[in-house]
Amino acid sequence: MNVLVIGNGGREHAILLALKKSKRVEKLYCMKGNAGTAQIAENVDVDYMNTEAVKKFAAEHPEIDYYVVAPDDPLAIGLVDELEAMGKRCFGPRKNAAEIEASKAFAKSLMQKYNIPTAEAQTFDSYDKALEYVRKKGAPIVLKADGLALGKGVLVCEDLKQAEEGLKEIMLDKSFGKAGNVIVIEECMRGLKYTPGEEVSVLAFTDGKTIVPMITSCDHKRANDKDKGLNTGGMGTFSPCPFWTEELEKEVYESIMLPTMNAMNAEGRTFKGCLYFGLMRTDKGMKVVEYNSRFGDPETQVVLPMLKTDLMDIFEAVTDEKLADLKIEWEDGACVCVVLASGGYPLGYAKGKEITVGDIGDCQIVHAGTAVKDGKLVTNGGRVLGVVAKGKDIETARKKAYKAVDNIHFDNKHYRTDIGVKYRQG
Ligand code: AMP
Ligand code: GLY
């Protein structure tokens, strides 16, 4: 099979690396890709947010058998629907199912309607009414812009002043554009042991009939050590989640995963693809923080390396709604991904800095913002690359990853030194 993966980042490189191991995959393509994807796939220079351009490319390339739409934006505009209408086989939800991520108001109403445990919330399209509600509820309180905002449209406000400013920023100043036309205001959940709480990402394959959780992972969203600094797209991940147990898996499967799949079916929005559950362990059990309609980034970088089953078999089983027939197996042990970012990220940063790579042992470099310029590997984004290491446990994998990090250089390299340390005591 010839397979094309849509997207430019670390997640897409990680998906391609997993597909490269498939016995059934002959040639890989990536639209548009980066310097890492170019090493194992043919990068295709087409803007994947331009539906007509993608369709033209697909029509001209009948040799491509399968499309994986990985990022949220093309899913939200219905790229899967368009490709399927041309008779192409795809991995990823259709537009009406991708709304589970693209609209936080929709996701919230779904959870409320089907009694899926989540923070108590109300949705507003009026600034005045929203302000009244915030003042009534008081702080701490969480504000979420309804639409896609590069993972930055969520404000956890510790006091009322912050909440009032945040509300103005989202709804009046439109800091996140039209994503802020509607706002979800919710109760601030606290963790069972830690504040602000233990979070875990559970990605699941689903074909609308069966839902199969992958191994768990944990993300580090803040830019600096000890969860200080601004929110980012993710500075590192590790797998598995240390507080995860079989009992939690059962609870989450029964109270969250299965009900979500069934709810989407009942709404006529059958979800096929990878459904991402961002969860928090609270004193009232596991609750949904967010849904994503796709593989997480950088969760994918630590989950897929542990997959023993052929990823292409899983993708096709999802497309053909035969997931129930497949046994999905995982390696034992742990995996850690340390992201190396350009200094300044998530705000302004320089590009075009040369990257040199020394001895990285058996670690894998997963490229995110990289390019080749004048034959040299250079930085080309905020998150530049992820260093992925496996080990018998998180501590072993962590040590390996950081050893490799010391041998990768570019100007103003920034990374967290505490990836995998989270919840260590828990
Ligand atoms: P999201 O983009 O929805 O994942 O939100 C980003 C981060 O904000 C989450 O990873 C949580 O740490 C935090 N957060 C979101 N919603 C809540 C909530 N209701 N209570 C506490 N923290 C939250
Ligand atoms: N790592 C969080 C996300 O993919 O949205």
Ligand 2 atom closest to 298 (CA) = 1
pLDDT at 26 over 50: yes
Separation between Cα atoms, residue 119 and residue 285, nearest integer Å: 11
Position 426 scores a pLDDT of 42
Ligand 2 atom closest to 237 (CA) = 1
- Name the residue of 276, 304, 337 whose CB sits within 8 Å of the most ligand 2 atoms, as the mutation to test its pocket: 276
Q: Which ligand is nearest to the CA of 143?
A: 1
Q: Which ligand is nearest to the CA of 7?
A: 2
Closest Cα to atom 3 of ligand 1 = 290
- pLDDT, tens digit (0-9, with 9 covering 90-100), for 133-179: 999 999 999 999 998 887 678 888 999 999 999 999 999 988 888 88
Closest Cα to atom 13 of ligand 1 = 156
Closest CA to 350 of 341, 358, 359: 341
- pLDDT, tens digit (0-9, with 9 covering 90-100), for 28-84: 999 999 999 999 999 999 999 999 999 999 999 999 999 999 999 999 999 999 999
Q: For the CA atoms of the chain, what is the radius of gyration?
A: 21
Separation between Cα atoms, residue 263 and residue 353, nearest integer Å: 48
In 3-state terms, what secondary structure has residue 200?
A: strand
Please, are residues 409 and 356 in contact by the beta-carbon 8 Å criterion? yes
Residue 300 dihedral angles phi and psi, to the nearest 5°: -55, -35
In 3-state terms, what secondary structure has residue 251?
A: helix
Position 198 scores a pLDDT of 87
Determine the distance from the C-alpha atom of residue 205 to the mean position of all C-alpha atoms in its chain, rounded to a whole number: 14
Ligand 1 atom closest to 121 (CA) = 19
Position 425 scores a pLDDT of 54
Position 152 scores a pLDDT of 74
Position 147 scores a pLDDT of 87
- pLDDT, tens digit (0-9, with 9 covering 90-100), for 80-120: 999 999 999 999 999 999 999 999 999 999 999 999 999 99
Strand partners of residue 68: 5, 91
Ligand 1 atom closest to 187 (CA) = 19
pTM score above 0.85 = yes
Q: Which ligand is nearest to the CA of 189?
A: 1
- Among residues of the chain, what percentage have pLDDT more than 90? 88
Separation between Cα atoms, residue 55 and residue 46, nearest integer Å: 10
Angle between helix axes 258-266 and 95-102 (nearest 10 degrees) is 130
Three-state SS string over 301-357 comes to: HHHHHHECCCHHHHHHHHHCCCHHHCCCCECCCEEEEEEEEECCCCCCCCCCCECEE
Separation between Cα atoms, residue 211 and residue 382, nearest integer Å: 34
pLDDT, mean of residues 389-405:
97
- Among residues of the chain, what percentage have pLDDT more than 70? 97
Contacts of residue 167, defined as CB under 8 A and 6 or more positions apart, other chains included, come to: 127, 130, 131, 134, 143, 183
- Name the residue of 123, 144, 154, 187 whose CB sits within 8 Å of the most ligand 1 atoms, as the mutation to test its pocket: 154
Position 195 scores a pLDDT of 53
pLDDT band at 254 (very low <50, low <70, confident <90, very high): very high
- pLDDT, tens digit (0-9, with 9 covering 90-100), for 331-379: 999 999 999 999 999 999 999 999 999 999 999 999 999 999 999 999 9
Closest Cα to atom 5 of ligand 1 = 154
Ranges 267-271, 278-282, 346-350, most confident: 267-271
Residue 113 dihedral angles phi and psi, to the nearest 5°: -65, -35
Please, are residues 44 and 31 in contact by the beta-carbon 8 Å criterion? yes
**353 Cα to the center of ligand 1, angstroms:** 33
Ligand 2 atom closest to 292 (CA) = 5
**62 Cα to the center of ligand 2, angstroms:** 32
In 3-state terms, what secondary structure has residue 167?
A: helix
pLDDT at 296 over 70: yes
In 3-state terms, what secondary structure has residue 71?
A: coil
Cβ of 229 below 6 Å from ligand 2: no
Ligand 2 atom closest to 219 (CA) = 1
pLDDT, mean of residues 395-399:
97
Question: Hey, what are 283's tokens?
Answer: 């004193």
Position 197 scores a pLDDT of 64
In 3-state terms, what secondary structure has residue 368?
A: coil
pLDDT at 236 over 50: yes
